Amino acid sequence: MGMEADMFGDGGDHLAPPGSPADHLWMSQGEDVWDLGPADLDTDADGIADSLTRTGPDGMAVYTDSDADGRVDLITEIGADGSYSAQRLDTGTGTWLPTDSGRLA
Ligand SMILES: [Ca+2]
Ligand SMILES: [Ca+2]
């Protein structure tokens, strides 16, 4: 006759609690790692928030986690003058590579 320690569950699936770090986007550069906070934008409309934006005096930047692992792998910067540039993370080397730039119509 044992204690009924299992009465609250059988060790099934655990959902991450809201606001857990797993929901946050993060990125690293060299030794530094930044927790950018929870994604609040769904750029590809699959129902999962994958991006967040930061607005500064010179424009805004969109940080996107395109493969849903939490690590930001695409940054699009949009200047106040309408110019934009994008860079994608090479996850193998940790290097950011420019992919696109130009000017918004
Ligand atoms: Ca999405
Ligand atoms: Ca990612």
Q: What is the DSSP string of 28-73?
A: EETTEEEEEEE--B-TT-SSS--EEEEEETTEEEEEE-TTSSSB--
Residue 32 is assigned to a structural domain of this protein: yes
Ligand nearest to the CA of 66: 2
The reported pLDDT for the residue numbered 37 is: 93
Residue 16 is assigned to a structural domain of this protein: no
The reported pLDDT for the residue numbered 45 is: 94
Residue 2 is assigned to a structural domain of this protein: no
Name the one residue in this structure whose structure tokens are 């009465």.
Answer: 7
The reported pLDDT for the residue numbered 3 is: 56
Residue 87 is assigned to a structural domain of this protein: yes
Is 72 exposed, middle or buried (CB count within 10 Å of its CB: 0-12, 13-18, 19+)? Answer: buried
Q: Which domain holds residue 60?
A: 24-103
- Kindly give the distance from the C-alpha atom of residue 27 to the centroid of ligand 2, in angstroms, as a whole number: 9
Q: What is the CA radius of gyration of the chain?
A: 19
Encode the chain (105 residues) as per-residue pLDDT tens digits: 555 555 555 554 555 455 445 589 999 877 899 999 999 999 999 999 999 999 999 999 999 999 999 999 999 999 999 999 999 999 888 899 999 999 987
Ligand nearest to the CA of 75: 2
Residue 99 is assigned to a structural domain of this protein: yes
Residue 70 is assigned to a structural domain of this protein: yes
Residue 29 is assigned to a structural domain of this protein: yes
Is 4 exposed, middle or buried (CB count within 10 Å of its CB: 0-12, 13-18, 19+)? Answer: exposed
Residue 64 is assigned to a structural domain of this protein: yes
Ligand nearest to the CA of 89: 2
Task: Give the span between the Cα atoms of 76 and 17, in whole angstroms.
Answer: 30
Q: How many domains does the chain have?
A: 1
